[in-house]
Amino acid sequence: MSTTQSERLRGLLEPLVSAADLDLEEIEVSRAGRRRQLRIIVDSDQGATLDACAELSRAISEKLDETDAMGDDEYVLEVSSPGADRPLTEHRHYARAVGRLVKFQLHEGGELVARVLTVDDEGLDLEVPGVKGRKPTARRVAFDEITKARVEIEFNRKDQTKEEEA
């Protein structure tokens, strides 16, 4: 997708997404056979529900029909929330990951898996799990130390199970 088309779509769609109390995370136009696919990724602090995505999809479809932003070619519109494995790139992504286990790639070349405890303007306070019966340790990581970060999927978190049983 050209930068001009991306900027135009973002300018056109951002007000609709904001009006739905969502954040516009990504716009992607790709080819799917003869058709193009317009994929809009949205999120919020509470997550993007299926109903919110469906309602937003209708509003975006109407807006695109009123304009020539997608040209005359056929396209498929998809409005969804980001997957669980999406990279953390914005401050708000880290804030939404509080309490979650995250895998970090650090500039110093190391890899770190830790639970996000707090987030501020400079970085993160983390809890690094203990290994082989050792207690967890605290660690501070500045945003400029992070090359990549992604939430780790946890299927059976022990402290979560204890809370659910109580």
Using CA atoms, how far apart are residues 113 and 129, in angstroms rounded to an integer?
A: 8
- What backbone torsions phi and psi does residue 94 show, to the nearest 5 degrees? -65, -40
Please tell me the number of Cα atoms within 13 Å of 23 on its side-chain side. Answer: 12
Answering whether pTM is above 0.75, one says: no
* 29: nearest Cα among 53, 63, 6: 6
Residue ranges of the chain with per-residue pLDDT less than 50: 1, 161-166
Confidence (pLDDT) at 114: 94
Confidence (pLDDT) at 164: 45
